[in-house]
């Protein structure tokens, strides 16, 4: 069973609040991995490459000293633990990059595989399905809503 909590995550250049699975002490290594700043930095670079157009807009606005406001999560849907993985006691996680559009919907949802890591397709699909349902107060530049790139880890752990 998934136990959910709210946590702060700073990744892919943005800090947002989002639901993640509660991390048990016996799973400390996995938690540390997804919170590791070096891992987040590496995944951020991969996400930036996939969504270069969106990051270029943010970068230009920052250089021009414009006011950039990150999206605020207003509705989060927890991912469903894939039954095929639950039965086999498989745990894991995936990084999901996406854009929050000017209406607060998620678009351009993609998994960001880490170098040398094997992504579990069941976890990737469950994470994508959950993120598709998230809603945001749009990010803004000087008060005008924009499409804003985000990246979050989604961790699957059994209780």
**CATH code, domain carrying 118:** 3.30.2420.10
pLDDT of residue 18: 40
Single pTM value for the model: 0.78
pLDDT of residue 93: 87
Confirm if 127 and 110 have CB atoms less than 8 A apart. no
pLDDT of residue 82: 94
Could you report the average pLDDT of every consecutive run of 10 residues in the chain (159 residues)? 37 43 45 74 86 89 90 94 90 92 97 80 95 96 95 85
pLDDT of residue 17: 40
Q: In what order do the strands lie in the sheet with 144-146?
A: 68-69, 139-141, 144-146
- DSSP assignment of 135-154 equals EEEPEEETTEEE-EEEEEEE
Could you list the residue range(s) of the whole structural domain that residue 107 is in?
A: 4-156
- How many distinct structural domains can be found in the chain? 1
């Amino acid at each position: 069973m998934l136990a959910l909590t709210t946590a702060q995550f700073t990744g892919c250049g943005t800090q947002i609040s989002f639901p993640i699975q509660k991390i048990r002490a016996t799973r400390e290594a996995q938690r540390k991995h997804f919170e590791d700043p070096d891992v987040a930095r590496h995944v951020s670079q991969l996400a930036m490459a996939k969504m270069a157009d969106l990051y270029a807009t943010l970068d230009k606005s920052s250089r021009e000293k414009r006011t950039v406001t990150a999206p605020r999560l207003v509705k989060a849907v927890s991912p469903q633990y894939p039954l095929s993985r639950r039965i086999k006691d498989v745990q894991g996680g995936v990084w999901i990059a996406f854009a929050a559009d000017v209406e607060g919907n998620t678009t351009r949802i993609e998994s960001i595989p880490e170098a040398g890591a094997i992504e579990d397709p069941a976890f990737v699909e469950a994470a994508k399905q959950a993120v598709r349902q998230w809603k945001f107060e749009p990010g803004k530049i000087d008060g005008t809503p924009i499409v804003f790139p985000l990246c979050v880890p989604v961790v699957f752990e059994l209780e």
